[in-house]
Amino acid sequence: MSTLVIVESPTKARTISKFLPSSYRVEASMGHVRDLPQSSKEIPEAYKGEKWAQLGVNVDADFEPLYVVPNDKKKIVTALKNALKEADELVLATDEDREGESISWHLLQLLKPKVPIKRMVFHEITKEAIRDALKNCRNIDEQVVRAQETRRILDRLVGYTLSPLLWKKISYGLSAGRVQSVAVRLLVNRERQRRAFRQGSYWDLKASLNKDKTPFEARLVALKGTRIATGSDFDEATGQIIAGRNVILLSEAEARSLEARLADKPWTVADLEERPVTRKPLPPFTTSTLQQEANRKLHLSARDTMRTAQSLYEQGYITYMRTDSVHLSQQAIAAARSCVEQMYGKQYLSPEPRQYTTKSKGAQEAHEAIRPAGSSFRTPQETGLSGREFALYDLIWKRTVATQMAESRQTQITVQLQVEDAGFRASGKRIDFHGFLRAYVEGSDDPHAALEDMEVILPTLKKGDRPTCKKLESIGHETQPPARYTEASLVKTLESEGIGRPSTYASIIGTIIEKGYAQMNGNALVPTFTAFAVTSLLEQHFPDLVDPSFTSKMEQTLDEISTGEAKWLPYLKKFYLGEMGLATQVKEREKGIDATSARTIELDDLGGAKVRIGQYGPYIEAEKDSGPVKASLPKDLTPSDIHAELIETLLQQKTEGPDKVGLHPETGEPIYVLIGTYGPYVQLGDATEENKKPKRASLPKGVTIEDVTLDMAVGLLSLPRTLGIHPETNGKVQAGLGRFGPYVVHDQGKEGKEYRSLKASDDVLTIDIERAVELLAEPKKGRGGTRSKSKAPLRELGTHPTDGEPVNIYDGPYGPYIKHGKTNASVPEGESVEGLTMEKALEALAAKAGSTTKSSRKSTTKSGTSTKKTTTGKTTAKKTTATTSTKKKS
């Protein structure tokens, strides 16, 4: 008897096949095999005339979905059908969540098997788990499938109904989404708070004290019995002390006067309190907490975290990574406790096995938390993993092991000190027993926050002691605007509000960035002007769709459909076709939405100027004596950073011309300082018919227009400048300013060029050859500070049929790409790394080579040189001299 087992990915198939008898054949579906049509090309001929076909859902026929098999999946479906012909039994072993249940159902609809069918689910890919799952197969859960289908239809209705409206009223290519639009609104509201924020300033005193040769610090907390103001006492809207707060706000003059008055005065310990505290380890990881912690500690995006976790799961290293549950099986608890005892000793083991309960209402995606797979946990060093996979497994291993460790015991110490009428406070912390902190310390969104296992040592003090004050200094403070969302804090907020599902957060954040609603600034998600325009339109005309509580209720209803507590069809009818349904609202309100107003962003304090969204991005428009004046805004300018002075500079530059720094000492040409699409820069001479592109140089990071001097401008325009000859190779060494900042480069001829970034203390305009050689001698580092090494592929597809060279998928700065020899091509839109077939990859590579050849042919035709034709499809591609590069996604 032969059995066909179908899973989603080749990696998962390879791992599972190790644990199954030889009569079992494991094949991969490469993810979903059917979906709603993504474009008009995918709509079958029989439906092209139907008005609803573009939507992909027949709303007048009980919301019947139009499912199609994408072109790139047709061969996979055929192969699965052929494999099924040779099988006596079919086992559907897709993932155990709603998405996996849906994939199994679609496979069943397409394959129409005439042999016995089983649905096999498992939480980890180990021999024991797979054998156990085979013994406990079940049927497909129709209610879960229906809930997932309702979710898919709901997302399509929202996206395909609202997105065309945004194209008409704001800009083509924008999108709206059931969860996406709420997430964008969260970013926009935080940026609005930052714009409304008014800074406040306050002063206090810091004392450096000493007792029995042990130094410690204390801060001023009260004066004449009244508390000193801190940042929490300020109103963010006014920058003033909140009304009714009985505090003393010290100015700089008052602080310095107090400092002088207290100098050389005796200090006394007025009171001392020691308070024992215990801390329990955090629960094991769920999908959302793993995304948050990987973002904080490893600086991984949600998408990278899920991609890496998927790989670890499919290789059998961790349990299923899409889960809302913090529950640990008895097997996992035993394995974790064994690790603690072996690696840390019995004293670090919790007295009793520790179990956690899930607080989230929607915790039903899987039965267990994310943990190392198996009945015994491999240590990170034993896995043989490297790079991101090692780092993420290490994080999961530590967090899981820590759950079964003893509590951390600490003593919090607070010392009150008095000097004349001023009260100071010193705080300390003593760790009496590290407990689980030996294995794991949670990260923080605040980069300045101290790790919780750091002790703050105070000397032995008692009431009446007189420590010596070595130094007393006045310290000024300014209140800070609300922090922007990071991926970690956005995921945390979405989950706490009950918006969406953790398994979808990675794709949602990716879409927000790809659609131009946010850009990454360091680790922060910064909303764009486009995000402001779209959010304002939705708030004004479709407020429910961007209301977190409304979206949360939708999520709750979808959960109830999966359990049979709610009916899917009445819900869809009410949501879309009801009196206040989405289709009705769009039809009634579209004519009343003025496109000019929709493209205009209302911001205060801009001196009468307006920000609008144009075809080529955001721009400002203001009325001047000569009429309306428009000027483009720099791409990296954020809504919270725009102000009247900057706008005046841009408009003046447009009407009166740029500011002149001076004349170049050698050529006599004027040097201007301007603000362009990519920020401020200096320009040598005027743009004329003969000199359409005068030389330009961007200002270094942190340098403003006001900082630019004539010498600096001349220096920047001289870049890259030659520093000298390398003493070992006689190669030329230069200093320049590039995309990633200032650098030095060593030209080694045929060996290529060697680059090094300048340190913070180096100046690109003054660095000399000796310092450059010193930097070039240092080991080359990759971005992020790690030593550069050859990049490992995300996936190996196989060898190219024409030359036998490998075809691999790599992770690049603009997303995953396919590489063959010197040809790089982006992974086609809608394709996943795991789902991409060799045939599809060859088509993308051939198309890339063809487009490059065409551009090369255009350029060589002028000089009379011909280029060999490149063919695509099954025909062998001929060699071309055109250079290829990775396609960049904007």
Question: How far is it between the farthest Cα atoms of the chain?
Answer: 96
Distance, CA of 490 to CA of 468 (rounded, Å): 47
Residue 608, C-beta contacts closer than 8 angstroms, at least 6 positions apart = 622, 623
Contact status, residue 270 vs residue 222, Cβ threshold 8 Å: no
Residue 634, C-beta contacts closer than 8 angstroms, at least 6 positions apart = 675, 676, 677, 678, 679, 680
Distance, CA of 565 to CA of 873 (rounded, Å): 51
Distance, CA of 524 to CA of 483 (rounded, Å): 9
Query: Does 202 qualify as catalytic in the annotation?
Result: no
Phi–psi pair at 555, nearest 5 degrees: -60, -40
Burial class for 838, CB neighbours closer than 10 Å (0-12, 13-18, 19+):
middle
Q: How far is CA 13 from CA 26, 94, 118, 246, 316, in A?
A: 6, 10, 17, 67, 11
Q: At what angle do helices 302-314 and 387-402 cross, to 10 degrees?
A: 80
Q: How far is CA 192 from CA 229, 241, 529, 601, in A?
A: 26, 21, 11, 12
Is 759 in a helix, a strand, or coil?
coil
Is 178 in a helix, a strand, or coil?
coil
- Outline where 542-643 has alpha helix (H): 548-563, 568-572, 582-589, 595-598
DSSP letter for each residue of 324-384: ------HHHHHHHHHHHHHHH-GGGB-SS--------TT--S-SS-B-B-SSSPPPHHHH-
Work out whether the CA dihedral 823, 824, 829, 832 comes out positive or negative: positive
Distance, CA of 385 to CA of 312 (rounded, Å): 9
Distance, CA of 784 to CA of 466 (rounded, Å): 48
Contact status, residue 885 vs residue 824, Cβ threshold 8 Å: yes
Q: Half-sphere exposure of residue 70, counting CA atoms within 13 Å on the CB side?
A: 21
Distance, CA of 174 to CA of 166 (rounded, Å): 6
Structure tokens at 544: 């429910």
Contact status, residue 724 vs residue 733, Cβ threshold 8 Å: yes
**Angle, CA of 631, 635 and 638, to the nearest 5°:** 95
Structure tokens at 488: 């970690």
- Outline where 373-486 has alpha helix (H): 380-383, 387-402
Give the type of residue at 523: N
Catalytic residue among 317, 320, 344, 743: 320
Burial class for 780, CB neighbours closer than 10 Å (0-12, 13-18, 19+):
exposed
Q: How far is CA 124 from CA 60, 311, 369, in A?
A: 43, 12, 11
Q: How far is CA 180 from CA 54, 494, 504, 582, in A?
A: 21, 10, 10, 17
Query: If we measure between CA atoms, which residue out of 323, 493, 306, 516 comes closest to residue 392?
Result: 306
CA 616 to chain centre: 25
Q: What 8-state DSSP symbol labels residue 114? A: S
**Angle, CA of 829, 99 and 531, to the nearest 5°:** 50
Which long-range contacts does 113-118 make (Cβ < 8 Å, 24+ apart)? 113/84, 115/84, 115/87, 115/88, 115/89, 115/90, 116/88, 116/89, 116/90, 117/89, 117/90, 117/91, 117/92, 118/89, 118/90, 118/91, 118/92
* Active site (catalytic) residues: 320
